[in-house]
């Protein structure tokens, strides 16, 4: 009798764990906004001066030859000395020009069009009256630059990521081994939202490395801060014209 009770309890525990595992990604995590997100919009109303956003980039350390890596993170507001003396933390700024703001923008493109200026690292969402919403972006690194006109063919929230085989091979040659597939979430390189361009492998998407905005670091995709790509995502539809220059 006792063996039957123990067997039933073990079976119930296994089924419960399986159910919890299936529910792990049933709901996507929320977008966490950086503290200075609203500063540019307040400035439009005559508010205070915009300050750069400072990100704490995690530092990866190796303990021993075969030990798993240790990733240390710290809240943005903390000082380096208060985090852990002796452990380096890279503080990187996102300059104010890469924060979202409404700017004067003269173009022949219709309102609602997205224009991406890869040289200056800006994405413009064209508005009426010679204005545009401007966001800072990260663009393709040397050798991965491109230009062209496409339409948004699909939109996804907290998208999964399947690295292209070419990228897997390229990174493996450098000693970086990518997963075959990665579920959507805060650690996913595609970030909170993705907008797919035509039939290409290129996307406008979020990032898990916001300090790279304003740089040429991607394999051709246009990356944005999660809070910025979420804002843009809500303003555009499938079929939106996207011009990359």
Alpha carbons 20 and 22: distance in angstroms, whole number: 5
Structure tokens at 26: 């049933």
- Is 44 designated active site? no
H/E element, 39: helix 39-44
Alpha carbons 39 and 41: distance in angstroms, whole number: 6
Beta-carbon contacts of residue 65 (< 8 Å; ≥ 6 apart): none
DSSP string, 95-153: -GGGS-EEEE---SSPTT-EEEETTTTEEEEE-STTEEEEEE-BEEPTT----EEEEEE
Catalytic residue among 205, 218, 220, 224: 205
Q: Are 124 and 132 in contact (CB under 8 A)?
A: yes
DSSP string, 163-199: --HHHHHHHHHTT----S-B-SSTTSTT-SEEEEETT
Catalytic residue among 221, 229, 232, 244: 221
Cα four-point dihedral sign 203, 208, 213, 215: negative
Alpha carbons 117 and 124: distance in angstroms, whole number: 8
- Is 221 designated active site? yes
Alpha carbons 240 and 137: distance in angstroms, whole number: 18
H/E element, 12: helix 2-22
| Residues annotated catalytic, as ranges | 205, 221
């Amino acid at each position: 009798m006792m063996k039957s009770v123990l067997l039933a309890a073990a079976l119930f525990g296994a089924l419960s764990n399986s159910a919890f595992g299936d529910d792990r990604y049933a709901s996507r995590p929320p977008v966490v906004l950086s503290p200075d997100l609203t500063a540019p919009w307040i400035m439009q109303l005559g508010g205070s001066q915009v300050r750069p956003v400072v990100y704490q980039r995690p530092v990866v350390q190796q303990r021993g030859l075969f030990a798993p890596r240790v990733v240390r993170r710290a809240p943005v507001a903390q000082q380096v000395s208060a985090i852990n003396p002796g452990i380096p933390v890279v503080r990187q700024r996102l300059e104010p020009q890469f924060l979202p703001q409404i700017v004067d923008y003269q173009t022949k493109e219709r309102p609602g069009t997205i224009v991406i200026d890869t040289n200056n690292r800006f994405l413009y969402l064209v508005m009426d009256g010679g204005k545009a919403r401007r966001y800072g972006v990260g663009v393709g690194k040397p050798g991965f630059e491109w230009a062209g006109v496409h339409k948004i063919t699909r939109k996804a929230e907290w998208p999964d990521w399947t690295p292209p085989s070419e990228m897997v091979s390229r990174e493996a040659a450098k000693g970086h081994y990518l997963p075959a597939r990665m579920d959507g979430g805060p650690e996913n390189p595609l970030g909170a939202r993705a907008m797919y361009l035509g039939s290409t492998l290129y996307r406008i998407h979020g990032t898990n490395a916001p300090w790279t905005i304003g740089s040429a670091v991607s394999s051709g995709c246009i990356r944005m801060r999660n809070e910025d790509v979420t804002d843009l995502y809500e303003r555009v539809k499938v079929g939106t014209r996207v011009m990359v220059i």
